[in-house]
Structure 1
Amino acid sequence: MSQAGSADGPVDAGARAGVVLAAAALLGMVLSNSALAASWHALLDARWGFSLGPVHLAESNLRWINDALMALFFLQVGIEIKREWLFGALADRRARVLPVAAALGGMLVPALVFVAINASRPGNLSGWAVPAATDIAFALGLMALFARGLPARARVFLTAVAVLDDLGAVMIIAAFYTAQLSGPMLGLAVATVIAMALLNSFGVLRAWPYLLLGLLLWWWVLHSGVHPTVAGVLTGVLLPQQRTGGAGRRVEHALAPFVSWGVLPLFALANAGIELHGSLYELLRSPVTWGVALGLLLGKPAGILVGVFAASRAAGGLPAGYSWRLMLALAGFCGVGFTMSLFIADLAWPDGAAAFDAARMGVLLGTLLAVLAGSVVAQRLYPRGQAGRRAQP
């Protein structure tokens, strides 16, 4: 998750996490196109589970990663959303306007780009949300690596936009990427959320009651037709937080190394691999590939800038400390959609579908091009020699 911070330590940690995530994705590509491909895919498809009285659950290794381990990532997303909203970059009502407008534009325009490119292929349109979300950890890590001249305010703004992006992506998953709904399971999920809210209202500050209820919530949501990672976000949002500590902060700190160095690289390893044998040409001519890639490369920065322009016009100008120079330097890195984009692609199409592979190719291509473009623009506008003057916008 976010490694934003003014000290060099958190930034370096973010950069290292970004490198590990990229290396895991590359290894996934290598394994899927090597002599080990059949064994690798058999390992991902291998099913296992458990029985505990009336409770039975058996899933493939890929689904355990995407449905269970990624719920921990989304738990961290929920905690970060609440922390930023209460005490961080989104705590001031006036300070929320700019990143909220940027996030809305940054989700709408990429979706429109994808739809425009795939309008003649109705079967492809289920992937309209794939380029809509920014990957917090990957974007911040890559920005720390390739744009070290940017001021600290850049990390704060990018974190706020990405957090709001993630919130929007979760809402999209819940609203548009659900299976047939189960009324009883949804009812139990709602009751569990109410129970966690009551714990909050009674001033319960320990983490374990919320986490136990969160585990129950994950189970209900898993069988409700809504994607189970939504349970992670809801649990994170409902964990109590304080400015200098609290259950939410303790859980976030405990999760951070496990998620950054374990869950996200494992997700990238399992989901980024695309078999290219004889199909590279088909992937590169697919409208899904270019809808996703151009949505991230062009749609994301354009949407961010349109949102910022609209907010600044409504407010009579950019807030103090912000400039169009800073917005231009940041916009490219908002096109890093890796984790969330791959996740939504997994929900939009079944594994093995041609459109699914094309979407994954588009995510990799668009993210790579966005990083290259963002790095060039940021280094031109904020040369590394200015790193010592990061307070300047």
Structure 2
Amino acid sequence: MNNKFFGSRQLQQILKVKEKYEFIKNFISVETLSGFILFTVTVFAVIIANSSYSDFYFDILKSPISIGFGESSFSMSTLHWINDVLMAIFFLVVGLEIKRDMLVGELSSVKKASFPIIAAIGGMIIPAAIYLSLNKEYPTGFGVPMATDIAFALGILLLLGNRVSMSLKLFLVTLAVVDDLGAIIVVAIFYTSEINYLFFIHAGITYLLLLLLNYFNVKKLLPYLVLGIFLWIFVHKIGIHSTIAGVLLAFTIPLKQKNETDTNNAPLVKLEHALHNFSAFLIMPLFALANAGVIIDFSSVIEHKQIVLGVALGLVIGKPIGIFLFTYLANSLKIATKPANVTWSEIVAVGFLGGIGFTMSIFISHLAFSDPSIVSAVKIGIFASSITAAIIGVILILSNKKRV
């Protein structure tokens, strides 16, 4: 690029746009590959859970793993280590992505953020409402159909290649970021056990120290990570699901640069880059392996058919209706503006892809229901409805391109 034709400020703006575009392309490629791996691991988990190795599989998940510190020790089952510890790291990565997007990404201005934010809100409210209308006796399950699995959804879009515009992929990514933020809020508020208020003080002091590190612009990551471990312990003791500690930690990591065109030296970006592949290619496959293994027993589905129906309708019907209806009304009322190169039929198609719940819906189902038979039935419903939503979404995108 010849600097003669650009002023310093223009060059910096061009470099920022180029850097953001490259980051989005890399993000999508990682998420799509992760989606393929997740699908393979999910199928494997279902097969092994219904094979002669079923007892061995479930015994491993139940077996305790202990860590000792002097005379003290901490013990949890393998399943809880994955769901409480590794998923806290996953939510740390999600939190870093959300903070970066809110400060310098697609959520950094009202004009850019309003349309996908409204889409995500609609995609959470309508599925929850459908579920609650059918399950007044089991209201805690409302959060299950609210979730979208971004890795699977982007994996589907990648399979469609050039039939899907970059603008549509960006819309789905931004929608999913807001969806993740909504899921975090729901988990923090509604899926919390009995509160141990004493540890609120410990967690509050720890978080204050993290905020002070941010205030004084400490760029070394080690102090944040050490305090983050203590924050996880205290949040776990409070009774709030410990994955929230990962998000809280993420919001304290500074996103400051050495100069206007260099973001790679920002602590948040460095940590996000360091953990993203670890999260996508190890944590999420392990989570799928540990949680997707459900014994296919349709008697449990029949027994809890109302709950399963609420989840299925929420994902397959509620997601596309909510995403389309809220964005159409917002666009008509000039509250938000639809991207010019994205059609309404593509918005509907993305709505169906938003109904791919898989790992996030499974995660919330474990928090929402204490009865294992309900969890098993709901997982079957999640699998069936996610596959159905994916097929419909693909058909709509392909048929739209034929018309164009």
Residues 95-244 of structure 1 mapped to structure 2, 5 A cutoff = 95-119=112-136, 122=137, 124-146=138-160, 148-242=162-256, 244=263
1:334 aligned onto 2:348: no
Superposition TM-score, scaled by structure 1 size:
0.90
Q: Decide whether the 8 Å contact of 2:62 with 2:77 is kept in 1.
A: yes
Partner of 2:288: 268
The answer on 1:46 being equivalent to 2:63 is: yes
- CA apart distance, 1:63: 0.3
SS of 1:128's equivalent? helix
Contact 1:301–1:332, Cα closer than 8 Å, also in 2: yes
The gaps in structure 1 that reach 5 residues or longer are: 387-393
Gaps of 5+ in 2: 1-19, 257-261
For 1:171 and 1:348, locate their aligned partners in 2 and report how far apart those are by CA, in whole Å. Answer: 14
Whole-angstrom distance in 2 between the partners of 1:320 and 1:280:
43
Deviation at 1:7, TM superposition (A): 7.7
**Partners of 1:179 and 1:54 in 2: CA distance:** 28
Which residue is 2:389 aligned to? 370
Q: Tell me by how many angstroms 1:236 deviates.
A: 1.3
Structure 1 residues 203-225: Cα deviation after superposition (integer angstroms, max 9, x where no partner) = 11222211111111111111110
Contact 2:345 2:396 in 1 (8 A): no
1:267 maps to a residue whose letter is F
Q: Which residue of 1 aligns with 2:85?
A: 68
Rounded to whole Å, the distance in 1 between the matches of 2:129 and 2:41 is: 30
1:24 aligns with 2:38: no
Q: Are 2:116 and 2:175, in contact at CA under 8 Å, matched by a contact in 1?
A: yes
Q: Secondary structure at the match of 1:238?
A: coil
CA distance in 1, matches of 2:250, 2:25: 27
Q: Secondary structure at the match of 2:163?
A: coil
Task: State the distance in 2 between where 1:162 and 1:11 align.
Answer: 12
Matched letter for residue 208 of structure 2: I
Where does residue 269 of structure 2 map in the other structure? 249
The amino acid across from 1:213 in the alignment is L
Deviation at 1:118, TM superposition (A): 2.2
> How many angstroms does 1:23 deviate by?
0.8
Taking the aligned partners of 1:63 and 1:181, their CA distance within structure 2 comes to 19
Aligned positions, number: 377
Compared CA separation, residues 153 and 280, structure 1 to 2 (3 A): same
CA distance in 1, matches of 2:86, 2:21: 23
User: What letter is aligned with 1:377?
Assistant: L
Displacement of 1:200 in angstroms is 1.2
Q: Supply the distance in 2 between the matched residues of 1:317 and 1:192 (Cα, whole angstroms).
A: 39
The one-letter amino acid of 1:226's match is I
2:325 is the alignment partner of 1:325? no
Distance between the aligned counterparts of 1:7 and 1:205, measured in 2? Answer: 24
Q: Residue 220 of structure 1 aligns to which amino acid in structure 2?
A: F
SS in 2 for 1:315: coil
In 1: Cα distance, 2:28 partner to 2:322 partner? 26
> Max radius of gyration: which structure?
2
Structure 1 residue 282 displacement after superposition: 3.8
- How far did 1:186 drift? 1.6
The answer (yes or no) to whether the contact 2:365–2:378 under 8 Å persists in 1 is yes
**TM-superposed deviation, 1:13:** 3.7
> Does 2:366 correspond to 1:346?
yes
Q: How does 1:354-393 map to 2 (within 5 A)?
A: 354-382=373-401
TM-score, scaled to structure 2: 0.88
Are residue 314 (structure 1) and residue 333 (structure 2) matched? Answer: yes
Deviates more, 1:73-82 or 1:199-208: 199-208
Q: 1:193 to 1:4 in 2, by over 3 A?
A: farther
The code of the aligned residue for 2:388 comes to L
For residue 184 of structure 1, report the CA deviation from its aligned partner. 1.6
Contact 2:349 2:392 in 1 (8 A): no
Rate the CA distance shift 1:252–1:356 in 2: closer, same or farther, 3 A: same
Alignment check: 8 A CA contact 1:336 1:371 kept: yes
Stretches (4+) displaced over 4 A: 3-12
Percentage identity across aligned positions?
Answer: 34
Distance 1:240 1:194 in 2: 14
CA RMSD of aligned residues (A): 2.2
Q: Distance in 2 between matches of 1:27 and 1:196?
A: 41
Q: Which amino acid aligns with 1:111?
A: A
Matched, 1:91 2:108: yes
Amino acid at match of 2:242: P
Deviations 1:287-311 (A, max 9, x none): 2222111111110111111221232
> Cα–Cα, structure 1 residues 80 and 60, in superposed 2: closer, same or farther, change >3 Å?
same
**Which AA in structure 2 matches 1:257?**
N
Shift in Å, 1:250: 0.9
Taking a change above 3 Å as real, the CA distance of residues 10 and 252 of structure 1, as seen in their structure-2 partners, is: closer
Distance 1:22 1:38, change over 3 A: same
Per-residue CA deviations over 1:156-213 (Å, capped at 9, x if unaligned) read 1111111111111111111111111111212211222221111111111222211111
The correspondence of residues 265-304 of structure 1 with structure 2, limited to 5 A, is 265-276=285-296, 279-283=297-301, 286-304=305-323
Distance 1:315 1:198 in 2: 41
Contact in 2 for aligned 1:78/1:232 (Cα 8 Å):
yes
